[in-house]
Amino acid sequence: MTKEERSGGWRDKEISERHRYWYGSNCPMVNFDFLVVEYDHLEPMAIIDYKHYEKGLQPWEPLKDPNFQVLVKVADRLGVPCLIAIYKPKDWWYRVFPLNDAARRFYEYGQDLTEVEYVQSLYRLRGRDGPLSRWIKPNAHVQDPLSDLKMIRRHWNSSARIDRARDEMYG
């Protein structure tokens, strides 16, 4: 069963369900949470699937999921990075899982990034420097932006699982 539709009605969950259940197993499709194409001057720069941190994605799941295998093939044909970015809205941190060689040039598997670091990385994907002055306010009180990420890492029962997933993915 698909999740409750959260797109404001512009995406119809009925077609997703109908395709899944009625078109047959020889007609598979990919249905992502929040898939975006980062672009610059009308050229694709990256394909990113954003996932809310509460979804509970385990670091090894994308390695075996046919949906992500298809997405990687699309990105490879375009010659662009393909990644999953787990995010937490209140504190705005990201955990990035690069899925192809192009993405591994920019990110480590399971890399934790503050929002500023993540935005900078999106600019690097475009071969540009990011506008840090917009994001960093002088004398702003900053708590440990990675404290929740550390908790998530404990939830995943240490970084050993991430390391095993990375080893399995990259040989």
Q: Which residues of the chain have pLDDT under 50?
A: 1-8, 138-143, 145-146, 148-149, 151-159
So where are the chain's domains? 1-29, 32-170
Q: Which pLDDT score, from 0 to 100, does residue 17 have?
A: 79
Contacts of residue 38, defined as CB under 8 A and 6 or more positions apart, other chains included, come to 44, 45, 46, 47, 48, 122, 125, 126
Structure confidence at residue 161 (pLDDT) = 56
What is the distance, to the nearest Å, from the Cα of residue 61 to the centroid of all Cα atoms in its chain?
13
**pLDDT recorded at residue 136:** 53
pLDDT at 130: 73
pLDDT at 142: 43
